A and B are shown apart, each in its own frame.
Chain A
Amino acid sequence: EVQLVESGGGLVQPGRSLKLSCAASGFTFSNYYMAWVRQAPKKGLEWVATISTSGSRTYYPDSVKGRFTISRDNAKSSLYLQMNSLKSEDTATYYCARHSNWELGYWGQGVMVTVSS
């Protein structure tokens, strides 16, 4: 069974950093592109980042480019999201997801990040 378990969320002040982790199991992690998607309170879904199988290619929307960095450790079946210069508008539940092709075949339960002073 595919499982994706996020961790590392919490309350952080504006301008500070936070790193999210996602532990993957139930599939060969190194074979799949992975992604982060977020959902602000009472809002819709927003794609945040995607990383290739080897980690050599990464993709971001303009809203987080230059502030967020997606990475992975295939030996540990783990995905990460380093978030710097956080803003109040980054407050959201962050989901780890496994790509099938470019669609997102499996999702985690999510982890909450609150950016507030």
Chain B
Amino acid sequence: DVQMTQSPSYLAASPGESVSISCKASKSINTYLAWYQEKPGKTNKLLIYSGSTLQSGTPSRFSGSGSGTDFTLTIRSLEPEDFAVYYCQQHNEYPLTFGSGTKLEIK
């Protein structure tokens, strides 16, 4: 199984700042990585897939990069609604596996 190591597990930032979240796969997953946002009272939201492709409706301040084993989610100029938990997930092979999550909180 592909192990996904996500870091940091916790991140505090202020609105307007930029942040990056890392996700590392235990073996190459090509570019088949997705990022999700989890917020209380809302359904989980797919933000990015195939490493860097923005899902329809994802604001352009979100970007994804990487290939092989190393991936990054970057959020530029944080908005109040961006404070949430973020998960990466490899969609290269079964079993599908997720990272452990990053909680982004307001500083």
Interface residue ranges, A against B (CB under 8 Å): 4, 35, 44-47, 50, 59-62, 95, 97, 100-109
Contacts and interface: CB of A to CB of B under 8 A. Distances in A.
Interface residues of B, number: 23
Interface of B: 1, 32, 34, 36, 43-46, 49-50, 55, 87, 89, 91-92, 94-101
B49 to A, nearest CB: 4
A100 B49 contact: yes
B89 A104 contact: yes
A94 to B, nearest CB: 13
Given A44-B98, A46-B98, A47-B98, A103 B43 contact: no
Contacts of B36: 45, 104
Contacts, number: 58
A101 B89 CA distance: 13
26 contacts: A44-B99, A45-B44, A45-B87, A45-B98, A45-B101, A46-B98, A47-B96, A47-B97, A59-B94, A60-B95, A61-B1, A62-B95, A97-B44, A100-B46, A101-B49, A101-B91, A102-B92, A103-B46, A104-B34, A104-B36, A104-B44, A104-B89, A106-B43, A106-B46, A108-B43, A109-B43
